[in-house]
Amino acid sequence: MSTETQTPDVERGIVERLRASPFLSELLSNRLAVLGLTLIGGVFAVAIYARFAYDLGAITSTQFGTNPTEAAPSAQYWFGTDGQARDIFPRVLYGAWYAMLYGTVTVAASTVLGVGLGIIAAYYGDLTDNVIMRTMDVLLSFPSLLLALALVTIFPDDLGLWRAVAALTLVYTPRFARVVRGAALKVLEDEYIEATRALGATDPRLLVRHVLPNCLAPITVQSTLNFGLAIIDIAALSFLGFGASPGEPTWGMMLSNGVEYGLFSGAWWWSFFPGLLLALTVLGFNLLGDGMRDALDPRMREAID
Amino acid sequence: MVSKRFVAKRLLLLVPVLFGVATVVFAILHLSPGDPAVAIAGQRASQAFVEQVRTDLGLNDPLWQQYLRFLGDVATFDFGQSYQIQRGTPVSQILADRLPITIELAVLGQLAGLLFGLPLGILSAVKQDTLTDHLTRIGALSGISIPIYWSGPLLILLFAQFLGILPTSGRIGSAHFIDAVTGFILVDTLLAGDLPAFRSAFRHLLLPIVVLGIYQMALISRMMRSSMIEVIRQDYMRTARAKGQGEKITTMKHGLRNAFIPVITIIGIQFGALLGGAVLTETVFEINGIGTLLVSAINQSDYPVVQATVLVFAVMYTLVNLLVDVTYSVLDPRIEQ
């Protein structure tokens, strides 16, 4: 913490306070990171809009008779229609909601699990550390998408895409655990930890109030980079046929159907638009994650791959 | 040079990891809700027959016995027989047929990634903060953001559907018959001395390699750029320049080797992503490697095949990382300490 935070913040405007933080000012001066932030903000707005503007039942059910099938993009159907005569435009927008929802849950769950395990491993050391970290090592010895594929089978079918979320949470957790353990070990060497302990702080208080806040930077970067990955992997699992139920307006499912039924009949728009939105969203998270990593203290950089 | 001790130590460390990997695979299969006995006997089989199959498979034995038997089977490469995909065929036989297909794809994808990624990364670093650098970086970032299951279909659309100059799927034209000697189709066609077949196989592989290679290229150029930027600032680079050596030779001779070391680590770590990418590429281009094998085995509850395929993927990943560690220690002997 810099001395800046000890001067009263109340009277200063938000812009000034942002400038006072070296991390944020560095980040906001990075044009690519700002572009990433804009992309994410845009997709987020679309997600919220679609969630409330469209009726899920109406855009999921087939629309034979109402719309033409596999109509090319036009003034009426901006992104064209699919083989079930559904208008693709609202479905692609609604896909943003699913991507954000499932992505957020996956990243949040693996962050919480990984942070917990990493901090505990670093703090208690010895046997605890070994048991936790060797387990993480084993999970890390699987190629991630392959492990997710195998794990998806554990969960019952009726969970739909939540199966993919659960599987990917388990797959991503070790990465967080590793990063956090490394960062926590560095923090634990600091003198204020010794001081806090001498003051009689309990273990949970010490970990949550003192160790965790000082590990936040690498955790945030890892989460951001993993967000893009989570969205790609969730869509990959539904592309391979695990997760979303037919007709559900998720990007992976639309892509899968569009490639399987639309590609050779010439209906390129069926898979093109969901893929485009997916790629832009992931690009947004990668741009932001990169910018965050660059804005961080260089010593922290090596902790994140 | 690598000391034998270092390699022996790394090999020894492999044992607990492989043991853990096998345990995870065993656990996953036993946690799956499906019943292997029903999968074999069929949905309409009588209760008694299902029970008979279950006893035959040893599924009624205590869990620890099943676990020990599983470890024994894995250690002797006995993965049992396929339930569904090629009913009755030993899983090891199916894997032996299909594994080379995936390896060929992955290796070529990786090579393509290196071939284009390394020069781009170096160019980006040498011309840091110029337009070339910015364009390369944005290109690389886009490369890792575009999913294979989108770029693949787009390329099929462009080159196969629209321009009609490349085939859409499969490994070789239907007019060619090639004996599988090595299993690598490019090698087999050459061994047979059949140049038209080689050409056909190469044209089939081109788009899959490009799709898989784009991602690798993006990763490698990013890593090479940041590694090269670090190296350019080092003292020994200044010394090399000071003694009158040309800028190009300095960059290539001293810079490249040192900058390449961290890139090797990334290649190892990202080999998992390469394998995941291979699964998706095989699905998009309908290539019968072990990626598509795994996907259909999961869909058809062919447990022995799922088990063996996941194990093989994990072992390949682990071995490549071992190789990376050893290569690393050759290039940078300090790492052994």
Averaged pLDDT in 10-residue chunks for chain A of 305 residues:
43 55 76 91 95 87 82 86 87 94 96 94 90 92 92 85 93 93 88 86 85 85 90 92 82 90 84 94 92 68 44
**Residue A305 pLDDT:** 41
* Residue matched to tokens 């995870």: B24
**Cβ neighbours of B87 (radius 10 Å):** 10
Interface test with A, best of B31, B145, B223, B269 (most A CBs within 10 A): B145
Domains and CATH numbers, chain A: 40-56+67-304 (1.10.3720.10)
**Residue A282 pLDDT:** 95
**CB-based contact B21 A271, cutoff 8 Å:** no
| A20 exposure class (CB count in 10 Å sphere: 0-12, 13-18, 19+) | middle
Cα B256 to Cα B260: distance, rounded to the nearest angstrom: 6
Cα A203 to Cα A128: distance, rounded to the nearest angstrom: 15
Mean pLDDT over each residue of chain B, to the nearest integer: 86
**Residue B270 pLDDT:** 87
Cα A289 to Cα B27: distance, rounded to the nearest angstrom: 35
Contacts A236 to B, Cβ<8 Å: 147, 149, 276, 280
The tokens describing A297, both together, are 């203290």
Cα B45 to Cα B37: distance, rounded to the nearest angstrom: 10
State mean pLDDT over B309-330.
89
A17-A18-A19-A21 Cα dihedral, nearest 10 degrees:
90
**CB-based contact B279 A228, cutoff 8 Å:** no
Interface test with B, best of A149, A233, A251 (most B CBs within 10 A): A149
Cα B187 to Cα A241: distance, rounded to the nearest angstrom: 33
The tokens describing B236, both together, are 């020994």
Q: With cut-offs at 50, 70 and 90, classify the pLDDT of residue B336.
A: low
Q: Which of B112, B170, B149 is nearest to B281 (CA)?
A: B149
**Residue A41 pLDDT:** 96
Closest A-chain CA to B157: A263
**Residue A193 pLDDT:** 85
Closest B-chain CA to A271: B150
Asked if residue A156 lies in contact with residue B33, where contact means CB atoms within 8 angstroms, the answer is: yes
Closest B-chain CA to A233: B147
- What separation in angstroms does the CA of A66 have from each of A53, A71, A81, B172? 20, 12, 11, 43
Closest A-chain CA to B26: A150
Q: Give this complex's ipTM.
A: 0.88
**CB-based contact B141 A138, cutoff 8 Å:** no
Contacts A171 to B, Cβ<8 Å: none
A146: nearest CB among B154, B279, B284: B279
Cα B8 to Cα B3: distance, rounded to the nearest angstrom: 9
A144: nearest CB among B28, B32, B276: B276
Cα A206 to Cα A178: distance, rounded to the nearest angstrom: 20
Give me the residues paired with residue A67 across strands: A64
Give me the percent of chain B exceeding a pLDDT of 70. 98
Contacts B36 to A, Cβ<8 Å: none
3-class state of residue B2 by DSSP: coil
**Residue A18 pLDDT:** 52
Cα B255 to Cα B231: distance, rounded to the nearest angstrom: 6
How close is the nearest chain B Cα to the Cα of A151, in Å? 7
Q: With cut-offs at 50, 70 and 90, classify the pLDDT of residue B262.
A: confident
Question: Read out DSSP for B257-312?
Answer: HHHHHHHHHHHHHTHHHHHHHHHHHHHHHT--SHHHHHHHHHHTT-HHHHHHHHHH
Q: What number of C-beta contacts closer than 8 Å exist between A and B?
A: 142
Cα B10 to Cα A198: distance, rounded to the nearest angstrom: 42
Cα B58 to Cα B66: distance, rounded to the nearest angstrom: 7
**CB-based contact B149 A151, cutoff 8 Å:** no
How close is the nearest chain A Cα to the Cα of B270, in Å? 9
Q: With cut-offs at 50, 70 and 90, classify the pLDDT of residue B177.
A: confident
The tokens describing B217, both together, are 């290229």
How close is the nearest chain A Cα to the Cα of B232, in Å? 17
**CB-based contact B147 A305, cutoff 8 Å:** no
* CB-side neighbour CA atoms (13 Å) of A233: 31
How close is the nearest chain B Cα to the Cα of A140, in Å? 9
Alpha helices in chain A (DSSP H): 14-20, 22-28, 31-53, 56-60, 88-124, 126-140, 144-152, 161-188, 191-198, 203-205, 216-239, 251-257, 269-295, 298-301
Higher pLDDT, B162 or A146: A146
A150: nearest CB among B153, B273, B306: B306
Contacts A279 to B, Cβ<8 Å: 142, 145-147, 150
**CB-based contact B150 A141, cutoff 8 Å:** no
Asked if residue A96 lies in contact with residue A282, where contact means CB atoms within 8 angstroms, the answer is: no
Cα B44 to Cα B38: distance, rounded to the nearest angstrom: 9
How close is the nearest chain B Cα to the Cα of A193, in Å? 30
For the stretch A137-171, pLDDT in tens is: 999 999 999 999 999 888 888 888 899 999 999 99
